[in-house]
Amino acid sequence: MGNIRRVLLGALCALGATFVLAPVANATEPNNDFATATGPLTAGQVFKSSLETADDTDIQFFYVPDTATVTVTVTNATAKKNATGGRTIGTGIYQARKGKDPRLLDNSARRISPQKKGKVKTTLVPGKYFVTVGHASAENGAADVPFRIQINPAGTTTDSYEIFARRCNDAYRSVARMKKSKKNVAKRLKKAKKNGASYHKVSELTAKLRSKRAKIKEGQRIKRIVCSVPQ
């Protein structure tokens, strides 16, 4: 849990501010850390929530199935009559990484005063992302601070993890097929050499084997990428 808190603190530290985090061990809400984030958010729709206590943190997530340029807008919906310093919020966007702490995206941290919006326009590769919302001040955070989140344009997110699971399975099958094909070419090359085949035939099979190995290497690279999206 300590790693989660340190990662989250990076968002507002980048702005010279303090991001108040709920003590994860005693969290009263189900979305105070990355493991229990709310979601997935749907692009084009407005997500409404509130920082219920003076030390609350809310974390939401969304999936991007294909590389897209999106705008994530967080609105501090505090009414003007309640616009005290303790109602300023801070946000950040993080990329999920399998087996590692989420990574804060460059230039995604925002400090948002009451009735103001914080916008981040960025190009995202396929994957899972988090939007964190918390109090901007450790000294005087206020309770009941409403906020809204919207991702645009519509259609740039998916509500299901299944697309990533399917791509991962497809990548595994593709690499397996390529390895089988490479094995067959290797056998043909060995047989050709054993039977005294022509120089041209041996060279042709050698080049084909080299090509198969290169394709496997690329396939394994793609597999690592598409299988790196955590659920």
DSSP track, 160-213 = -SHHHHHHHHHHHHHHHHHHHHHHHHHHHHHHHHHTT--HHHHHHHHHHHHHHH
Q: What is the pLDDT of residue 80?
A: 75
One domain, residues 7 and 61: yes
The domain containing residue 175 runs over which residues?
A: 162-226
How many structural domains is the chain composed of?
2
CA proximity to 51, closest of 162, 120, 176, 136: 136
75 and 53 share one domain: yes
Residue 190 in any domain: the answer is: yes
Within a domain: 157: no
Identify the domain boundary among 152, 180, 214: 152
Across the chain, mean pLDDT equals 87
Q: What is the pLDDT of residues 119-163, one digit of tens each?
A: 999 999 999 999 999 998 767 788 899 999 999 999 999 999 999
CB 146 within 8 A of CB 89: no
106 in a structural domain: yes
Cis peptide leading into residue 40 (ω within 30°): yes
- Residue 67 burial class via C-beta count within 10 angstroms: exposed 0-12, middle 13-18, buried 19 and up: exposed
Per the listing, tokens 């645009």 go with 152
CA end-to-end distance (rounded Å), the chain: 18
**pTM of the model as a whole:** 0.82
Please state at what angle helix 199-226 crosses helix 162-194, rounded to 10 degrees. 160
- Please check whether residues 109 and 65 belong to one and the same domain: yes
Higher pLDDT, 76 or 21: 76
Weakest-pLDDT range from 27-31, 126-130, 146-150, 197-201? 27-31
| Same domain, residue pair 15 and 86 | yes
Q: Are residues 169 and 203 in the same domain?
A: yes
Q: What is the DSSP string of 53-110?
A: STT-EEEEEEEE-S-EEEEEEEEE---GGG--GGG-EEEEEEEEETTEEEEEPTT--E
User: Could you tell me the CATH number of the domain that includes residue 127?
Assistant: 2.60.120.380
Q: For residue 107, is it within any domain? A: yes
* pLDDT beyond 50 at 19: no
Give the pLDDT confidence score for residue 86 in this predicted structure. 82
Share of the chain above pLDDT 70, in %: 85
Q: Is the pLDDT of residue 177 over 70?
A: yes
Q: Determine phi and psi for 3, rounding to 5 degrees.
A: -65, -40
The residue among 152, 171, 201 that closes a domain is 152
State the average pLDDT over residues 17-33.
49
Residues 124 and 76 in one domain: yes
Q: Are residues 114 and 183 in the same domain?
A: no
The verdict on residue 231 lying in a domain is: no
The pLDDT value recorded for residue 140 is: 74
Are both 11 and 103 inside the same structural domain?
A: yes
For residue 148, the surrounding DSSP H or E stretch is strand 145-152
69 neighbors 123 (Cβ within 8 angstroms): yes
Segment 4-20 mean pLDDT = 48
If you ran DSSP here, which 8-state letter would residue 125 be given? -
pLDDT at position 31 is 86
Q: Domain ends where: 117, 152, 187? A: 152
190 and 128 within one domain = no
Could you tell me which of 61, 93, 80, 92 has the C-alpha nearest to residue 146? 80
Q: Do 215 and 105 belong together in one domain?
A: no
CA-to-CA distance for 179 and 162, rounded, in angstroms? Answer: 26
Name the burial class of residue 109, with classes exposed (0-12), middle (13-18) and buried (19+) by CB atoms within 10 angstroms of its CB: buried
Q: pLDDT tens-digit profile of 78-131? A: 987 766 778 999 999 999 999 999 999 999 999 999 999 999 999 999 999 999
Strands 145-152 and 46-51: antiparallel
In this structure, are 171 and 147 located in the same domain? no
Please state which of the ranges 49-53, 84-88, 185-189, 197-201 shows the lowest mean pLDDT.
Answer: 84-88
What pLDDT was estimated at residue 44? Answer: 96
Domain presence at residue 13: yes
The pLDDT of residue 112 is 95
Under the banding of pLDDT at 50, 70 and 90, the label for residue 26 is very low
**Higher pLDDT residue, 222 or 1?**
222
- 134 and 87, same structural domain? yes
3-class SS of residue 216: helix
